[in-house]
């Protein structure tokens, strides 16, 4: 049990800043909030807050841990004229070059980066076509070693033949069952399962039917990229005679647990259909800029926007700034406050997944510093030159607060970062990752 003494609670939904108080954590949850809690919890390990801010942890709602070792890669990559070529020349060579030791290092390095940035939950979308079986359990182990929460899935695709596609579905189902069995046995799991697909343009109708069946049998949701580039939307209308979102809906893949990545080229009727089905749109502003796929002009029409990094690290405060400033550049109507609501909405996604199969009294609460909520928390060393109050929380995130202010990070009541030091063996993880990165780049060279 842990007691944060003399902290100011910084809330994101709705934004607020509390007077100095104490926050007690027990059994992975917030047990009490109030003055002088040391009398009530004399046994608790005390953390001197010194008036620092304590907030809910940040959620990255779409990422690819498999790209953690792509940073600064030295590989001969042909120039690409468009996004489809970029996938072939770069990303599909990268994912094919991943084996399980590379994946393990990649996941550990990515998870470590995330917690050091104040991120407590990562929604991962994984691909390693030459090492599919068991891959999600390797990633899960990395989450557990670092102490990070999240959702995992495998990106099923037909681009490596029918057996590749079947193996993708199989891995998703296997992992969902593993998760369900552990939860049924009363284990406190940090990761939940989605059923994953790469994108409509690499999934035939047979694949979508198999994925829909997996969604149904496991009771989990679907996580896929849709219309990241215009090509995906054009292909769907050309080959299947349907808008990509309408095509997914035809297979029953659009539900309240569905996560649609990007959606840059969706049309108004597709956004309306997503809203009707209560599905989530994962917006990845920085990745869209990097891949030059265009800006999502209908972003503000979506009901459930969440924010992700799409594999470009996991620093959500940095991503938040990109989302805000790219939107400002497009002269969109949203202010930082709307983007703060989007970033916070990743917690609704977690709540929907972690309450699968739970009795209503046990339904988890994320993203709140309140009694009974999950103890996924960040303590910030934020010396602000201007007052920080309820009305300007989003402004401080856009123009001030950054990962350099992270002092301590707790997930499910356990510290992952304490007094600016990782609670895991960061040196070993880093050294191993650099070794595996070199192997990955060499293997990419062999797969030109
Ligand atoms: Zn992605």
- Centre of ligand 1 from the C-alpha of residue 24, in Å: 37
- Centre of ligand 1 from the C-alpha of residue 2, in Å: 36
- Centre of ligand 1 from the C-alpha of residue 93, in Å: 15
CA distance 402 to 250: 42
- How do 2-12 and 53-56 pair as beta strands? parallel
Non-local CB neighbours of 248 within 8 Å, separated by 6+ positions: 200, 208, 222, 224, 226, 254, 258
Facing residues of 262 across strands? Answer: 226
- Centre of ligand 1 from the C-alpha of residue 126, in Å: 9
User: Quick check: 308 and 62 in contact, CB under 8 A?
Assistant: yes
- Centre of ligand 1 from the C-alpha of residue 184, in Å: 31
- Centre of ligand 1 from the C-alpha of residue 229, in Å: 12
User: Quick check: 425 and 399 in contact, CB under 8 A?
Assistant: no
| Structure token digits, residue 379 | 């303590």
- Strand segments, DSSP code E, in 44-194 are 45-48, 53-56, 58-63, 119-124, 149-152, 191-193
pLDDT digits (tens, 9 = 90+) for 174-203: 999 999 999 999 898 999 999 999 999 999
- Centre of ligand 1 from the C-alpha of residue 158, in Å: 17
User: Quick check: 244 and 229 in contact, CB under 8 A?
Assistant: no
- Centre of ligand 1 from the C-alpha of residue 262, in Å: 8
Facing residues of 23 across strands? Answer: 4, 33
- Quick one: pLDDT at residue 215? 98
- Centre of ligand 1 from the C-alpha of residue 321, in Å: 19
- Centre of ligand 1 from the C-alpha of residue 312, in Å: 10
| Structure token digits, residue 125 | 């979308």
CA distance 131 to 76: 23
Sequential pLDDT tens for the chain (448 residues):
999 999 999 999 999 999 999 999 999 999 999 999 999 999 999 999 999 999 999 999 999 999 999 999 988 888 888 888 888 888 889 999 999 999 999 999 999 999 999 999 999 999 999 999 999 999 999 999 999 999 999 999 999 999 999 999 999 999 999 999 999 998 989 999 999 999 999 999 999 999 999 999 999 999 999 999 999 999 999 999 999 999 999 999 999 999 999 999 999 999 999 999 999 999 999 999 999 999 999 999 999 999 999 999 999 999 999 999 999 999 999 999 999 999 999 999 999 999 998 877 789 999 999 999 999 999 999 999 999 999 999 999 999 999 999 999 999 999 999 999 999 999 999 999 999 999 999 999 888 7
- Centre of ligand 1 from the C-alpha of residue 383, in Å: 35
- Quick one: pLDDT at residue 156? 98
| DSSP per-residue letters across 382-410 | ---SS---GGGHHHHHHHT--GGGEEEEE
- Strand segments, DSSP code E, in 89-214 are 119-124, 149-152, 191-193, 195-197
- Centre of ligand 1 from the C-alpha of residue 62, in Å: 6
- Quick one: pLDDT at residue 438? 96
- Quick one: pLDDT at residue 86? 86
- Centre of ligand 1 from the C-alpha of residue 37, in Å: 44
Would you call 375 helix, strand, or coil by DSSP?
Answer: coil
CA distance 280 to 354: 16
| DSSP per-residue letters across 298-322 | TGGG-SSEEE--TTS---HHHHHHH
- Quick one: pLDDT at residue 322? 98
Non-local CB neighbours of 122 within 8 Å, separated by 6+ positions: 59, 60, 63, 65, 110, 111, 114, 143, 148, 149, 150, 314
- Centre of ligand 1 from the C-alpha of residue 281, in Å: 12
User: Quick check: 324 and 336 in contact, CB under 8 A?
Assistant: yes
CA distance 349 to 366: 9
- Quick one: pLDDT at residue 376? 98
Domains and CATH numbers, the chain: 2-57+371-421 (2.30.40.10), 58-354 (3.20.20.140)
User: Quick check: 136 and 126 in contact, CB under 8 A?
Assistant: yes
CA distance 430 to 262: 30
- Centre of ligand 1 from the C-alpha of residue 237, in Å: 22
- Quick one: pLDDT at residue 188? 86
- Centre of ligand 1 from the C-alpha of residue 181, in Å: 28
In which element (H, E) is residue 363 found?
Answer: none
Given the structure tokens 């597709």, which residue do they identify? Answer: 270
- Centre of ligand 1 from the C-alpha of residue 311, in Å: 7
pLDDT digits (tens, 9 = 90+) for 77-131: 888 888 888 888 888 899 999 999 999 999 999 999 999 999 999 999 999 999 9
Non-local CB neighbours of 75 within 8 Å, separated by 6+ positions: 93, 441, 444, 445
Neighbours of 402 (CB within 10 A): 17
CA distance 297 to 140: 35
Neighbours of 329 (CB within 10 A): 10
CA dihedral sign, ordered 288, 256, 182, 29: positive
User: Quick check: 215 and 153 in contact, CB under 8 A?
Assistant: no
CA distance 324 to 398: 7
CA distance 127 to 131: 9
């Amino acid at each position: 049990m842990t007691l944060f003494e003399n902290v100011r609670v910084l809330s994101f939904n709705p934004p607020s800043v509390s007077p100095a108080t104490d926050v007690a954590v027990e059994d992975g949850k917030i047990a009490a909030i109030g003055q002088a809690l040391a009398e009530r919890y004399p046994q608790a390990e005390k953390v001197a807050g010194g008036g620092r801010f304590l907030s809910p942890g940040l959620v990255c709602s779409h990422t690819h841990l498999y790209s953690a070792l792509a940073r600064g890669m030295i590989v001969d990559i042909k120039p690409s004229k468009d996004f489809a070529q970029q996938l072939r020349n770069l990303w599909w060579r990268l994912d094919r070059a991943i084996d399980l030791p590379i994946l393990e290092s990649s996941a550990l390095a990515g998870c470590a980066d995330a917690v050091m940035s104040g991120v407590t939950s990562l929604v991962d979308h994984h691909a390693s076509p030459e090492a599919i079986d068991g891959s999600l359990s390797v990633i899960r182990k990395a989450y557990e070693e670092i102490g990070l929460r999240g959702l995992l899935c495998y990106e099923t695709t037909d681009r490596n033949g029918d057996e590749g596609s079947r193996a993708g579905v199989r891995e998703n189902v296997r992992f969902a069952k593993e998760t369900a069995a552990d939860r049924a046995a009363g284990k406190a799991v940090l990761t939940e399962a989605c059923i994953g697909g790469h994108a409509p343009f690499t999934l035939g109708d047979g694949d979508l039917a198999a994925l829909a069946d997996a969604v149904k049998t496991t009771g989990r949701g679907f996580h896929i990229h849709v219309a990241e580039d215009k090509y995906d939307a054009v292909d769907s209308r050309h080959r299947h005679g349907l808008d990509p979102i309408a095509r997914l809906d035809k297979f029953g893949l659009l539900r309240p647990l569905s996560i649609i990545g990007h959606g840059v080229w969706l049309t108004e009727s597709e956004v309306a259909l997503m809203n009707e089905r209560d599905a989530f749109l994962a917006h990845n502003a920085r990745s869209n800029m990097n891949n030059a796929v265009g800006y999502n002009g209908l972003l503000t029409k979506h009901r459930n926007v969440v924010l992700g990094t799409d594999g470009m690290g996991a620093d959500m405060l940095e991503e938040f700034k990109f989302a805000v400033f790219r939107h400002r550049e497009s002269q969109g109507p949203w202010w930082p406050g709307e983007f703060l609501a989007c970033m916070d909405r990743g917690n609704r996604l977690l709540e929907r997944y972690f309450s699968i199969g739970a009795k209503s009294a046990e339904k988890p609460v994320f993203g709140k510093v309140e009694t009974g909520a999950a103890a996924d928390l960040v303590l910030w060393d934020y010396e602000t030159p201007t007052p920080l109050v309820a009305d300007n929380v989003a402004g401080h995130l856009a123009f001030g607060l950054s990962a350099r202010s992270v002092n301590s990070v707790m997930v499910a009541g356990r510290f992952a970062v304490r007094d600016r030091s990782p609670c895991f063996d960061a040196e070993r993880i880093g050294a191993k990752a650099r070794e595996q990165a070199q192997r990955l780049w060499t293997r990419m060279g062999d797969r030109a």
